[in-house]
Structure 1
Amino acid sequence: MDKKPRRYYSNATIAALMTLARGGCYWPNCNVPTIRMINGTPRLNLEIAHIRAFEEGGKRFEPTMSVRERNSFDNLILLCNPHHEEVDGPNSDQYPVDVLEDWKHARETDGLDALAGLGD
């Protein structure tokens, strides 16, 4: 029986996304915060989105990528629900890989530069 690949994100990958998101959705100029407090409890307010689809038939699927590569930090961004639906919905052709990678780079650059200065 074939095992269906599963989505798995390491704690480090999730921490990196949350940290480098600088508090918000990766969509340019979106101010939806990564976390919302509800009744005093922090709740994740964004969704992990794949730049290249996780599953065959998904938007921007790249068949040469391994499951590990599809789940890797380099292939992930955080989006609020409306922007995630837009990127993967009927207008998905407006959001090719290079556009989503540009958003990722723009959102993460300052944080990566700051981390690079910390040393080992």
Structure 2
Amino acid sequence: MPAEKSASAKTVKRLTPKPEVLRELYLLSGNMCAMPGCPTVLITSEGVMVGDVCHLAAAEFGGPRFQSNMTNEDRRKATNLMLMCKIHHKIIDSQPAKFSLAKLRDMKKAHEARFKEIGQTLQQRFVEQFADNTDEVQVSLPRRLSQLKKFNPDLYEASYVDEIVADVAAYAEKLSLAPVEYRTFMLAVIKRARKLGWTNHLGSKTSASVDCQDLMAAMNMGAAKLKKFTDGFERYGIGDVVEGFHGSHQVRLYDPAEGLRWSDIYKFSESANIDFSNFVLKVQFSSLG
């Protein structure tokens, strides 16, 4: 027997359960010990883990219910683990004859079945909570600006169309990386600029600029929140804050192309009865033709 133990022990190694396995175990535990009738919670309201990760078949040679035909990886899989309070963990491991492998498997199955549906809901909420909302953006680009030229036939010469389309494509890529919260605020800034008559004294880089004080007053927001958005505009390369006249500061949104301003697109959308918000929120420029 000692020789057999020594030979087997050479290949057996306790492996730490993977994070995704621990998450699965917790979701299926209902935050309760798996022992029937035990009311002990596993994680307190303060977030302290007071439960144990228990092996149905021992992780190491000589442990309770050790199975030599299992691999080290098998022993740390979710199928061989369950969550229990410390007292019942000690009880099942000190009485392996009473708590056989088959009995523990049945216990795990029955306990987790109670919370499987809840666990799936929690897991889905976890996925949804950390979903990247920019993944939903499906960028569409113009080809020859054919629809736009119907409303401004003299504005877009054929020799400049390719350059404008290329600039719009580069701009759309940047805009698509901005989270929807930033694009929503951007839309509000453009609409405010339109309401103020597209007044702009900041040069040809933008047609949409609004005084910071005006935005804070009109949209009932503080300086910190405005800075959050303008920092984001700079980070994604779609706008910034610049100094205007008499020490004032302006939120400046870059136009999609040097020859295609936000004011042009807004006027086009009104004439063509197109929802302007699709350009900003959905990054869809294909309606320009």
Q: TM-score w.r.t. structure 1 length?
A: 0.84
Number of residue-to-residue matches in the alignment: 112
SS of equivalent residue, structure 1 residue 35: coil
Aligned partner of 2:113 in structure 1 is 109
Given that 2:12 and 2:61 are in contact with CA atoms closer than 8 Å, whether structure 1 keeps it comes out as no
**Residues 1:66 and 2:74 are matched in the alignment:** no
**Following TM superposition, by how much is the alpha carbon of 1:31 offset from its aligned partner in structure 2, in angstroms?**
0.9
The 5-angstrom pairing of residues 1-120 of structure 1 reads 5-37=13-45, 41-89=46-94, 91-113=95-117, 115=120
For residue 83 of structure 2, what is the amino acid of its counterpart?
A: L
For residue 16 of structure 1, what is the amino acid of its counterpart?
A: E
**Following TM superposition, by how much is the alpha carbon of 1:112 offset from its aligned partner in structure 2, in angstroms?**
3.0
Q: TM-score w.r.t. structure 2 length?
A: 0.36
SS of equivalent residue, structure 1 residue 9: coil
CA change 1:32–1:65 in 2 (3 A) is: same
SS of equivalent residue, structure 1 residue 13: helix
Q: Separation in 2 of the partners of 1:101 and 1:50?
A: 10
Given that 2:15 and 2:76 are in contact with CA atoms closer than 8 Å, whether structure 1 keeps it comes out as yes
Q: Separation in 2 of the partners of 1:54 and 1:6?
A: 5
**Following TM superposition, by how much is the alpha carbon of 1:7 offset from its aligned partner in structure 2, in angstroms?**
2.4
For residue 31 of structure 1, what is the amino acid of its counterpart?
A: P
| Superposition RMSD in Å | 2.0
For residue 52 of structure 2, what is the amino acid of its counterpart?
A: E
Q: Separation in 1 of the partners of 2:70 and 2:12?
A: 15
**Following TM superposition, by how much is the alpha carbon of 1:3 offset from its aligned partner in structure 2, in angstroms?**
8.1
Which structure's residues are more often helix, by fraction?
2
Q: Which segments of 5 or more consecutive residues in structure 1 lack a partner in the other structure?
A: none
Q: Which has the higher contact order (CA 8 A, sep 6+)?
A: 1
